[in-house]
Structure 1
Amino acid sequence: MQKPRIIAAGGVVTNPWGKVLLIFRRGYWDLPKGKLDEGETIEVCALREVQEETGLTQVQLGPKLGTTYHEYFDKWSHQDVEKETHWFAMTAEDGQHLVPQTEEDIEQIIWADQTQIDLCMQDTFPNIIDIMTKAGLYQGT
């Protein structure tokens, strides 16, 4: 039996100094992303989710970086699901206040330089490493 598929979108957000926005949720460093709403385009979803999860208001959508897939147990539907996430490069204006979306269990948001990225990628998910590598922001250690 095929698992239900959840479609989501998110972003690899950089600021004018080349730092990358990372969120800390449920014990792991992650990138902002979330589920596609009915009638929404994948691009609109990506921007909306980044804004909702981080508090950013000035975000520009860039090119698509790729699509990742992973499976997990969905506590809402009480079943195993496959998540298909579409990732986009994004840029954010400087000086915006970051606000972690606590109802999504986001505890912390940082603008990470390369040293911080390398450290954070040690406590993240394989698909995040994949998309950060595709974005040219992580080479592995």
Structure 2
Amino acid sequence: MYKVFVKEVAIIVTSDKNAFKDHNTFNIKKVNFEDLIKKIEKKEITNVVLYSKNESKLLKRLHKLLPVVVAGGGLVLNQDNDFLFIHRNGKWDLPKGKAEKGESIEQTSIREVEEETGVRRLEITNYLGHTYHTFSRKGKVKLKLTHWFIMETDFNKKLKPQKKEGIDKAVWLNKEMATIALKESYANIRELFPDDMLLDNVR
């Protein structure tokens, strides 16, 4: 099973449609995905399942629906166990960005976190997982696949938000502040945080 986020709505992509009987189910091979996204954005439909009987082909069929943009990002902790957040377009987010040719996804993730926040001396400690969400560029809808890594750093100098990317803040937030910030974030970002990292359930 996979989730594709259209703003705050998670489209379930699965081979087990019986587990989601209260959802609107669409055949992944036949669906007009762009029309479906528009209906979700207009709040005309919620609780959506994309279904394919063949589980082994589920991911391949998902990637055929829209052009896929691969990105990498980080859930970064400092020595005080504070989280590194950015603020962009009125929302709290985690630093991430598109992979460049010839980069490993680990290299992409570190580079993008550094560029968007000014942090340095990053060390990847674990792979956190991946998220999917849709976005539009120049009138074209695309699917972003972001690989996320847990990172640590002892960097303690002033952070520098990448303003040309629309980032107005790059800050360290403690557990309490991060819990509050996530309520003004995105559903796919909230899903990245293990429950034991936060003060309460913000999903």
Backbone CA RMSD of aligned residues: 1.4
> Which residue of 1 is the match for residue 98 of structure 2?
35
Q: For the residues of structure 1 that align with 2:106 and 2:131, how far apart are their CA atoms? A: 15
> Which residue of 1 is the match for residue 142 of structure 2?
81
**Structure whose alpha-carbon radius of gyration is higher:** 2
CA contact (8 A) 1:62 1:90 kept: yes
1:109 shift after superposition? 1.3
5+ residue gaps, structure 2 = 1-31, 33-64
CA contact (8 A) 1:60 1:92 kept: yes
1:62 matches 2:125: yes
DSSP-derived class of the 1:45 partner: helix
1:137 shift after superposition? 2.2
Q: For the residues of structure 2 that align with 1:87 and 1:27, how far apart are their CA atoms? A: 22
CA contact (8 A) 1:19 1:114 kept: yes
**Letter aligned with residue 106 of structure 1:** I
Q: For the residues of structure 2 that align with 1:127 and 1:27, how far apart are their CA atoms? A: 16
1:53 matches 2:53: no
Q: Which has the higher contact order (CA 8 A, sep 6+)?
A: 1
**Letter aligned with residue 127 of structure 1:** N
Paired residues in the alignment total: 138
**Letter aligned with residue 113 of structure 2:** V
CA contact (8 A) 2:126 2:150 kept: yes
TM-score using structure 2 length: 0.65
1:124 matches 2:185: yes
5+ residue gaps, structure 1 = none
CA contact (8 A) 1:57 1:96 kept: no
DSSP-derived class of the 2:193 partner: helix
Q: For the residues of structure 2 that align with 1:57 and 1:19, how far apart are their CA atoms? A: 15
DSSP-derived class of the 2:194 partner: helix
**1:93 aligned residue (154, 157, 160):** 154
> Which residue of 2 is the match for residue 111 of structure 1?
172
